Amino acid sequence: MCRDSLTFPRVLLQRAVRVVYVLRVTTRTIAIDELRTITVIGSGTMGAGIAHVAAIAGYAVQLFDAAAGAAAAGLGRIEKNLAKGVELGKLTAADRDAALARIRPCDDLAAACTHTDCAIEAVPEVIALKREIFAAIDRAAPEHALLATNTSSLPISEIATSVRAPSRLVGMHFFNPVHVMKLVEIVRHTGSDPAAVSLAVSLAEKLGKTPITVADSPGFASSRLGLVIGLEAMRMVEQGVASPADIDTAMKLGYGHPMGPLELTDLVGLDVRLGIAEHLSTAIGPAFTPPAVLREKVAAGKLGKKTGEGFYRWSPDGKRLG
């Protein structure tokens, strides 16, 4: 259960609304100002970040994760990032406390979705898992709730057919670290309701982000382009062209990228990048075939910053060691 429990009459009302919904299988898109509660499913790297920005923007946030203690751990990371924000003078201690008070860690998916206006999914990049989760969200969430997936590459249309009204599901692709990165790709599939797409655009703006709208195609705009550079950088490491640090410096100083492709891979997670590469190599072609070095590091548990080693080594407090 989430920390708040439902009152009996509200449960009855909710059930009655759901019966009507099942019979009608239609949706009503709310206006952005009616959107007050956001449920985030998955409290890993991205889910915790999305919960962070939603709470700062004033939304009530339910943070659900299937792994025991993961939602609380996500909240701990948010607390740390907010504390850093206070240290840097980006927000006040009062803003931090108010944001933290808006986040409720939750260990029951249905309870987390029952009163939500928007459910954003950020679980691992596995289509069967995402479909299963959206089917469960769909059973619990009110008919007006916007449904969004943070997938980096999977077909939104295929995820959307797991819910009864696919028109209310869109892609909302945030970037890592979410509280820092400005971009959100809003991905529309052929069956998306334009009102749901424009609600997602408005929500991204409310979260302080700059949305772009992209058609549902493999890897959207950002993953497709970003991954080509990342995978080529890995092949260059394999071929001994240059060290990871020198390859990253080439892109930073030669092209003005704020971070090199290998350091970015460590930040994103090597497992996450491997999952996307596997999908895009099937969907687009051999330019996305995962290099052996990527597979080897993932098999060895070297997943990047989150495990302390990827193409670089990292200290427990997230500093690059070399």
Ligand X SMILES: NC(=O)c1ccc[n+]([C@@H]2O[C@H](COP(=O)([O-])OP(=O)(O)OC[C@H]3O[C@@H](n4cnc5c(N)ncnc54)[C@H](O)[C@@H]3O)[C@@H](O)[C@H]2O)c1
Q: Which of 27, 37, 45, 265 binds ligand X (CB under 6 A)?
A: 45
Residue number of the CB atom closest to ligand X: 44
Q: Which of residues 267-286 bind ligand X (CB under 6 A)?
A: 268-269, 272
The residue written with tokens 């009608």 in the block is: 24
Total residues binding ligand X (CB under 6 A): 27
Cα 149 versus chain centre, distance:
7
Q: Give CA separation, 226 vs 112, 241, 320, in Å.
A: 34, 20, 21
Q: Minimal CA–CA distance to 107: which of 148, 62, 60?
A: 62
Angle of helix 244-255 relative to helix 261-268, nearest 10 degrees, comes to 110
Binding string, residues 162-181; x marks residues near ligand X by CB under 6 A:
-----------xxxx-----
Give 30 or 264: the residue with its C-beta nearer to ligand X. Answer: 264
* DSSP label at residue 219: T
Q: Other C-beta atoms within 10 Å of 15: how many?
A: 10
Residue 307 in the binding site for ligand X (CB under 6 A): no
Bridge partner residues of 274 (DSSP): none
Residue 142 in the binding site for ligand X (CB under 6 A): no
Query: CB 266 → ligand X: shortest distance, Å?
Result: 10
SS3 assignment, position 156: helix
Q: Which amino acid is at 121?
A: E
Stretches 21-29, 118-126, 203-211, 313-321: which one binds ligand X (CB under 6 A)? 118-126
Q: Give CA separation, 40 vs 104, 166, 172, 256, in Å.
A: 10, 19, 12, 34
Binding string, residues 76-95; x marks residues near ligand X by CB under 6 A:
--------------------
Give 177 or 191: the residue with its C-beta nearer to ligand X. Answer: 177
Residue 70 in the binding site for ligand X (CB under 6 A): yes
Residue 119 in the binding site for ligand X (CB under 6 A): no
The residue written with tokens 């792994």 in the block is: 67
Query: CB 31 → ligand X: shortest distance, Å?
Result: 27
Cα 101 versus chain centre, distance:
21
Residue 156 in the binding site for ligand X (CB under 6 A): no
Stretches 11-19, 122-130, 194-202, 288-296: which one binds ligand X (CB under 6 A)? 122-130
Q: Which of 30, 38, 46, 187 binds ligand X (CB under 6 A)?
A: 46
Q: Which of 32, 66, 110, 242 binds ligand X (CB under 6 A)?
A: 66
The residue written with tokens 């057919």 in the block is: 161
How many alpha carbons lie under 13 Å from residue 165 in its C-beta half-sphere? 22
Stretches 66-74, 212-220, 241-249, 282-290: which one binds ligand X (CB under 6 A)? 66-74
- How far apart CA 35 and CA 163 sit, in angstroms, is 20
How many alpha carbons lie under 13 Å from residue 163 in its C-beta half-sphere? 32
Binding string, residues 241-270; x marks residues near ligand X by CB under 6 A:
---------------------------xx-
Give 85 or 105: the residue with its C-beta nearer to ligand X. Answer: 105
Query: CB 226 → ligand X: shortest distance, Å?
Result: 10
First to last CA, the chain: 43
Residue 118 in the binding site for ligand X (CB under 6 A): no
∠ at Cα 288 (286, 291), nearest 5°?
100
Give 17 or 300: the residue with its C-beta nearer to ligand X. Answer: 300
Binding-site ranges for ligand X (CB under 6 A)? 41-47, 65-67, 70, 122-125, 129, 133, 150-152, 173-176, 268-269, 272
